[in-house]
Structure 1
Amino acid sequence: MKKTGLFFGTFNPIHIGHLIIANHLAEFSDLDQVWFVVTPRSPFKKKDSLLDDYHRFQMVYEAVREYPRLEVCDAEFKLPQPNYTIDTLTHLREKHGDSRQFSLIMGEDNLKGLHKWKNYEAILDYYSIYVYPRLGPGDIPEALRDHPAISRVDAPVMELSATFIRKQHAAGKNVRPLLPEAVWKYMDEMNFYR
């Protein structure tokens, strides 16, 4: 059974920080693969700031196609909106349960709010969570600090955001070094975020 880490996000756009974290987990943890689960709409984000689902999926595909242990997943495109992680996990488990063991990948910033997620207790009961470090204030709720389902990963600290990239690109700044080359080319050709 393949251990597959699920890295959820809108990836609007995917950037080198995402790629570094995912590749680190694929290479230096017990995960066999990492799937980028492209989210059509996060319950915590406004939809109007998102590029079309297809374009964000295509940019992730372009970013990971030369990495055999990284893949892009569009499972959430077919599920009712807004998407909730527990529903996606249930769907993927029903579809791939015999061949894959799924785990979540999230930053410490997301772990701090996990107790607000729909059915978060079920996530902790049935799935492991790999947490990579983030800078920033705030405490992780006591119930999650030493939870057996949660593993902290000694991964690089990446303080880069898609919001920053979009804003700076729109302001005419050169953001090319912050993106995988194939993503930069796609984004530039399509004239996105200007």
Structure 2
Amino acid sequence: MKKKVGLYFGTFNPIHTGHLIVANFMVEFSDLDEVWLVVTPHNPFKKKSSLLENHHRLEMVYLACEGHEKLKPCDVEFRLPQPNYTATTLAKLEEDHPNYEFSLIMGEDNLNSFHRWKNYEVILERHSIYVYPRISEGEMDDRFKEHQKIHRVEAPVIEISSSFIRQAIKEGKNITTMLPPKVWEYIDRMNFYK
């Protein structure tokens, strides 16, 4: 039987306790065996000065996953041509890991725009999607409501955002409870987001 892996994509700029709560909830309260936190690379076509370099964000994901054996950092997208699409990432992972069954993890907000993704029909044909709730996202798109490949997981609604954390650090606020301790130490040592 194939190992079931949920893929949780993000810039993780920085990764915070909200990300870990969702990832851990998915692996403990669904049929997933592991969750891989896929760090999405800096898009070379978009200038975003607040986005840390890929290796720094990946390092923070490594630090955050320490001690959580079912949560794994993943840098597969760093090795794919940019701009990259999720369908390409999934094809690469399937090729590299034929004994794994990959699913996507996304918030309701992403599901509502999923029909605009490149090759979304192919993704849905080949992969399940685990959806976690978000505040005020309204009704789920009708085409996905009863879809057999879409699983709603009643995970806690976490409204911490990386942009909120970056702004709070810039303002000198103490937000250490919102970050894994080793991630906070890394941010502080590297003087990020100030």
Cα deviation for residue 138 of structure 1 reads: 3.5
Aligned partner of 1:173: which letter? K
TM score, norm. by length of structure 1: 0.95
Q: Is the 8 A contact 2:104 2:127 kept in 1?
A: yes
The corresponding residue for 2:54 is 53
The corresponding residue for 1:139 is 139
Cα deviation for residue 49 of structure 1 reads: 2.7
What does residue range 28-177 of structure 1 map to in structure 2 within 5 Å?
A: 28-41=29-42, 47-97=48-98, 99-177=99-177
Q: Is the 8 A contact 1:112 1:138 kept in 2?
A: no
Report % sequence identity: 58
Distance 1:166 1:100 in 2: 35
The corresponding residue for 2:185 is 185
TM score, norm. by length of structure 2: 0.95
**Partner deviation per Cα, 1:157-187 (whole Å, 9 max, x = no partner):** 1111001100111111111111011100001
5+ long unaligned stretches in structure 1: none
Aligned partner of 1:84: which letter? Y
- Paired residues, what number? 193
Cα deviation for residue 134 of structure 1 reads: 0.6
Q: Give the alignment's Cα RMSD to 1 decimal.
A: 1.6
- Structure 1 residues 127 and 135: CA distance shift in structure 2, 3 A: same
Q: Is the 8 A contact 2:42 2:54 kept in 1?
A: no
